[in-house]
């Protein structure tokens, strides 16, 4: 899998949020206040339990928005690590999820695509309120025509209903929708729905063993060259 040569002609480019537009690394520092010298592992467990809960809730048809999923996932992770922080410390750590900085290159990449004339949107598992707060905190507000939340589908990615939100919102066929994500499972889900996917592949990451064809790999330095209006 290599970076693409010719840009793909699309009507809109959608972006995943967490780990794609915003950097999750500061959660390590936030979690250090709850579990000294174990902040990094606790943050990783928090994120893993958050994703696990979103997938289980979707499979079991037990919807709850991402704010509740995120709170409950932190509680589970803390219990696994044997820590019981006071309510104030716990709430401060939860708020860190709303104040994440942009990933290196994300602001410039989004701006370049916007200046090229592409319509842009966020397509995230986050609740509508979480997405709005994160986009504003990361300095990305003003570039996106739509902030699409899994709230509207009452399911979480990689369920097809979430990707369909972009199809319904913009009226383009799936193959005319570009999608940027750093998460392999998200790249697989979007590609299975027919999107033109640019995967910001972390070092050593591999795609899940599911039938999906990713159009190409990218970095934030090359994302603006992956897509063109048309």
Q: Which of 16, 65, 151, 186 is catalytic?
A: 16
Among residues 85, 73, 91, 93, which one has the least CA distance to residue 28? Answer: 93
In the residue annotation, 61 being an active-site residue is answered as no
Give CA separation, 93 vs 30, 53, 66, 68, 202, in Å.
Answer: 5, 19, 15, 14, 25
DSSP state letters, 76-125: HHHHHTT----HHHHHHHHHGGGSPPBPTTHHHHHHHHHHTT-EEEEEES
Q: Calculate Rg over the CA atoms of the chain.
A: 17
Task: Give the active site residues.
Answer: 16
């Amino acid at each position: 899998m290599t970076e693409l040569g010719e840009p793909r002609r699309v009507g809109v480019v959608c972006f995943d949020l967490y780990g794609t537009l915003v950097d999750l690394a500061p959660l390590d520092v936030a979690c250090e206040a709850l579990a000294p010298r174990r902040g990094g592992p606790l943050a990783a467990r928090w994120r893993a339990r958050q994703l696990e809960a979103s997938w289980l809730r979707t499979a079991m048809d037990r919807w709850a928005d991402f704010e509740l999923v995120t709170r409950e996932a932190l509680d589970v992770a803390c219990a696994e690590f044997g820590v019981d922080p006071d309510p104030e410390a716990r709430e401060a750590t939860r708020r860190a999820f709303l104040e994440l900085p942009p990933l290196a290159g994300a602001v410039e990449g989004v701006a370049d695509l916007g200046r090229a004339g592409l319509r842009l949107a966020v397509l995230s598992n986050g609740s509508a309120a979480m997405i709005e707060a994160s986009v504003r905190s990361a300095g990305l507000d003003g570039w996106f025509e739509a902030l699409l939340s899994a709230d509207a589908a009452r399911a979480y990615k990689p369920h097809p209903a979430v990707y369909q939100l972009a199809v319904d919102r913009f009226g383009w066929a799936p193959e005319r929708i570009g999608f940027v994500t750093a998460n392999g499972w998200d790249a697989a889900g979007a590609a299975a729905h027919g999107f033109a996917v640019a995967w910001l592949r972390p070092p050593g990451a591999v795609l899940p063993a599911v039938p999906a064809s990713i159009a190409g790999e990218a970095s934030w330095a090359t994302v603006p060259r992956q897509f063109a209006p048309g």
